[in-house]
Amino acid sequence: MAIILASQSPRRRELLGQMGITGFEIRPARGEELPHPELSPARLVEELSRQKAAEVSADTDPGDLVIAADTVVAADGGVLGKPGSPEEAAEMLSLLSGRSHVVYTGVTVVRDGEAVTEHEATSVHFRSLTQDEIAAYVATGEPMDKAGAYGIQGYGALLVEGIQGDYANVVGLPVCRLGRILSRFGVDALALCAQKEQAT
Protein backbone atom coordinates (compact mmCIF):
# COMPACT_ATOMS: atom_id res chain seq x y z
CA MET A 1 0.00 0.00 0.00
CA ALA A 2 1.33 3.40 -1.00
CA ILE A 3 0.43 6.48 1.03
CA ILE A 4 -0.05 9.53 -1.17
CA LEU A 5 -0.23 13.14 -0.03
CA ALA A 6 -2.29 15.14 -2.53
CA SER A 7 -0.47 18.37 -1.71
CA GLN A 8 2.80 20.07 -2.54
CA SER A 9 2.78 22.04 0.72
CA PRO A 10 6.10 21.60 2.54
CA ARG A 11 4.30 22.23 5.81
CA ARG A 12 1.90 19.34 5.25
CA ARG A 13 4.80 17.10 4.23
CA GLU A 14 6.62 17.95 7.46
CA LEU A 15 3.56 17.37 9.64
CA LEU A 16 2.87 14.02 8.01
CA GLY A 17 6.47 13.03 8.72
CA GLN A 18 6.02 14.05 12.36
CA MET A 19 3.19 11.52 12.51
CA GLY A 20 5.71 8.76 11.82
CA ILE A 21 4.59 8.38 8.22
CA THR A 22 7.62 8.12 5.93
CA GLY A 23 8.16 7.15 2.34
CA PHE A 24 4.88 8.68 1.22
CA GLU A 25 4.45 9.98 -2.31
CA ILE A 26 3.65 13.56 -3.27
CA ARG A 27 1.00 13.91 -5.97
CA PRO A 28 -0.62 17.34 -5.79
CA ALA A 29 -4.05 17.73 -7.32
CA ARG A 30 -3.76 19.69 -10.55
CA GLY A 31 -7.37 20.46 -11.37
CA GLU A 32 -9.16 23.60 -10.26
CA GLU A 33 -11.48 22.89 -7.36
CA LEU A 34 -14.99 24.21 -7.87
CA PRO A 35 -16.62 25.01 -4.53
CA HIS A 36 -20.16 26.21 -4.13
CA PRO A 37 -20.05 29.89 -3.09
CA GLU A 38 -22.86 29.46 -0.58
CA LEU A 39 -20.97 26.89 1.51
CA SER A 40 -19.90 27.70 5.06
CA PRO A 41 -16.11 27.74 5.67
CA ALA A 42 -16.32 24.31 7.32
CA ARG A 43 -18.23 22.77 4.42
CA LEU A 44 -16.03 24.62 1.91
CA VAL A 45 -12.76 23.10 3.12
CA GLU A 46 -14.38 19.68 3.33
CA GLU A 47 -15.58 19.95 -0.26
CA LEU A 48 -12.23 21.22 -1.55
CA SER A 49 -10.31 18.45 0.20
CA ARG A 50 -12.82 15.92 -1.13
CA GLN A 51 -12.32 17.15 -4.70
CA LYS A 52 -8.53 16.99 -4.39
CA ALA A 53 -8.65 13.47 -2.98
CA ALA A 54 -11.05 12.30 -5.68
CA GLU A 55 -8.85 13.66 -8.46
CA VAL A 56 -5.67 12.03 -7.17
CA SER A 57 -7.26 8.74 -6.09
CA ALA A 58 -8.74 8.29 -9.58
CA ASP A 59 -5.19 7.63 -10.82
CA THR A 60 -3.89 5.35 -8.05
CA ASP A 61 -3.52 1.61 -7.64
CA PRO A 62 -6.06 -0.41 -5.66
CA GLY A 63 -5.24 -0.27 -1.98
CA ASP A 64 -3.32 3.01 -2.16
CA LEU A 65 -4.30 5.54 0.49
CA VAL A 66 -4.71 9.22 -0.48
CA ILE A 67 -4.64 12.14 1.98
CA ALA A 68 -5.85 15.57 0.85
CA ALA A 69 -6.38 18.81 2.75
CA ASP A 70 -7.47 22.39 2.20
CA THR A 71 -7.17 25.37 4.55
CA VAL A 72 -8.91 28.75 4.67
CA VAL A 73 -9.15 31.61 7.15
CA ALA A 74 -12.59 32.94 8.06
CA ALA A 75 -13.04 36.53 9.27
CA ASP A 76 -15.86 39.06 9.09
CA GLY A 77 -18.15 36.53 7.49
CA GLY A 78 -15.76 36.08 4.57
CA VAL A 79 -13.17 33.51 3.56
CA LEU A 80 -9.51 34.33 3.01
CA GLY A 81 -7.45 32.04 0.83
CA LYS A 82 -3.94 32.72 -0.42
CA PRO A 83 -3.27 36.34 -1.42
CA GLY A 84 -2.80 37.05 -5.10
CA SER A 85 -0.46 39.99 -4.58
CA PRO A 86 1.52 41.76 -1.83
CA GLU A 87 -1.20 44.40 -1.76
CA GLU A 88 -3.86 41.79 -1.14
CA ALA A 89 -1.69 40.22 1.57
CA ALA A 90 -1.45 43.59 3.32
CA GLU A 91 -5.23 44.00 3.11
CA MET A 92 -5.77 40.58 4.69
CA LEU A 93 -3.33 41.31 7.52
CA SER A 94 -4.99 44.67 8.17
CA LEU A 95 -8.33 42.88 8.43
CA LEU A 96 -6.93 40.36 10.93
CA SER A 97 -5.02 42.92 13.02
CA GLY A 98 -6.08 43.14 16.67
CA ARG A 99 -8.83 40.55 16.45
CA SER A 100 -9.65 36.88 16.31
CA HIS A 101 -10.32 34.74 13.26
CA VAL A 102 -10.89 31.04 12.64
CA VAL A 103 -8.67 28.71 10.61
CA TYR A 104 -10.52 25.81 8.99
CA THR A 105 -8.82 22.79 7.45
CA GLY A 106 -10.72 20.06 5.69
CA VAL A 107 -9.06 16.67 5.35
CA THR A 108 -10.12 13.69 3.25
CA VAL A 109 -8.67 10.18 3.29
CA VAL A 110 -9.57 7.78 0.47
CA ARG A 111 -8.75 4.11 -0.15
CA ASP A 112 -10.50 1.49 -2.27
CA GLY A 113 -13.41 3.82 -2.92
CA GLU A 114 -14.03 4.48 0.77
CA ALA A 115 -13.67 8.14 1.76
CA VAL A 116 -13.75 9.92 5.10
CA THR A 117 -13.94 13.72 5.18
CA GLU A 118 -13.81 15.89 8.29
CA HIS A 119 -12.66 19.37 9.29
CA GLU A 120 -10.92 21.10 12.17
CA ALA A 121 -11.43 24.70 13.35
CA THR A 122 -8.95 26.73 15.42
CA SER A 123 -9.42 30.26 16.75
CA VAL A 124 -6.39 32.56 16.36
CA HIS A 125 -5.98 36.02 17.90
CA PHE A 126 -3.68 38.62 16.34
CA ARG A 127 -2.12 41.49 18.24
CA SER A 128 -2.70 44.96 16.82
CA LEU A 129 -0.35 45.64 13.92
CA THR A 130 0.93 48.93 12.56
CA GLN A 131 1.06 49.51 8.81
CA ASP A 132 4.86 49.49 9.03
CA GLU A 133 4.78 46.07 10.71
CA ILE A 134 2.42 44.75 8.06
CA ALA A 135 4.66 46.11 5.28
CA ALA A 136 7.72 44.55 6.90
CA TYR A 137 6.05 41.16 7.21
CA VAL A 138 4.78 41.25 3.62
CA ALA A 139 8.34 42.13 2.51
CA THR A 140 9.56 38.79 3.90
CA GLY A 141 7.55 37.05 1.18
CA GLU A 142 6.16 34.58 3.69
CA PRO A 143 2.48 35.57 3.33
CA MET A 144 2.23 34.82 -0.38
CA ASP A 145 1.54 31.06 -0.34
CA LYS A 146 -0.51 30.89 2.84
CA ALA A 147 -4.20 31.15 3.57
CA GLY A 148 -4.91 34.40 5.38
CA ALA A 149 -1.48 35.74 4.38
CA TYR A 150 0.50 34.45 7.36
CA GLY A 151 2.39 31.40 8.57
CA ILE A 152 2.17 30.72 12.29
CA GLN A 153 5.15 28.36 12.07
CA GLY A 154 7.36 31.10 10.61
CA TYR A 155 7.77 34.85 11.03
CA GLY A 156 4.00 35.04 11.39
CA ALA A 157 4.37 33.76 14.96
CA LEU A 158 5.30 37.36 15.81
CA LEU A 159 1.73 38.40 14.97
CA VAL A 160 -0.15 35.81 17.02
CA GLU A 161 -1.08 36.52 20.64
CA GLY A 162 -2.79 33.22 21.21
CA ILE A 163 -4.76 30.33 19.77
CA GLN A 164 -7.59 28.11 20.95
CA GLY A 165 -7.54 24.68 19.40
CA ASP A 166 -5.17 22.61 17.29
CA TYR A 167 -1.91 24.42 16.45
CA ALA A 168 -1.06 21.97 13.65
CA ASN A 169 -4.39 22.80 12.04
CA VAL A 170 -3.27 26.42 11.66
CA VAL A 171 -0.06 25.21 10.00
CA GLY A 172 -2.21 23.31 7.49
CA LEU A 173 -2.91 19.76 8.65
CA PRO A 174 -5.00 18.75 11.70
CA VAL A 175 -2.64 16.03 12.91
CA CYS A 176 -4.73 14.73 15.81
CA ARG A 177 -7.89 14.45 13.71
CA LEU A 178 -6.00 12.92 10.79
CA GLY A 179 -4.47 10.33 13.12
CA ARG A 180 -7.94 9.27 14.20
CA ILE A 181 -9.13 9.05 10.60
CA LEU A 182 -6.10 6.99 9.56
CA SER A 183 -6.79 4.50 12.35
CA ARG A 184 -10.10 3.75 10.65
CA PHE A 185 -8.09 2.65 7.62
CA GLY A 186 -5.78 0.47 9.69
CA VAL A 187 -2.90 2.95 9.91
CA ASP A 188 -1.68 3.38 13.51
CA ALA A 189 0.36 6.59 13.53
CA LEU A 190 1.59 6.17 17.11
CA ALA A 191 2.87 2.67 16.33
CA LEU A 192 4.67 4.09 13.29
CA CYS A 193 6.26 6.77 15.50
CA ALA A 194 7.51 4.05 17.88
CA GLN A 195 8.94 2.02 15.00
CA LYS A 196 10.65 5.12 13.64
CA GLU A 197 12.30 5.86 16.98
CA GLN A 198 13.40 2.26 17.50
CA ALA A 199 15.03 2.25 14.07
CA THR A 200 17.23 5.27 14.87
- Residues forming the active site: 70
Strand ranges inside the chain, DSSP E? 3-5, 25-26, 65-75, 78-80, 100-111, 114-126, 160-164
Q: Say if residues 108 and 53 touch (Cβ distance below 8 Å).
A: yes
Give the whole-angstrom CA distance, residue 87 versus residue 116: 37
Q: Where are the alpha helices (DSSP H) in 116-174?
A: 131-139, 167-171
Give the whole-angstrom CA distance, residue 119 versus residue 108: 9
Give the whole-angstrom CA distance, residue 196 versus residue 103: 31
Q: Say if residues 104 and 110 touch (Cβ distance below 8 Å).
A: no
User: DSSP letter at 108?
Assistant: E
Give me the amino acid identity at 137: Y
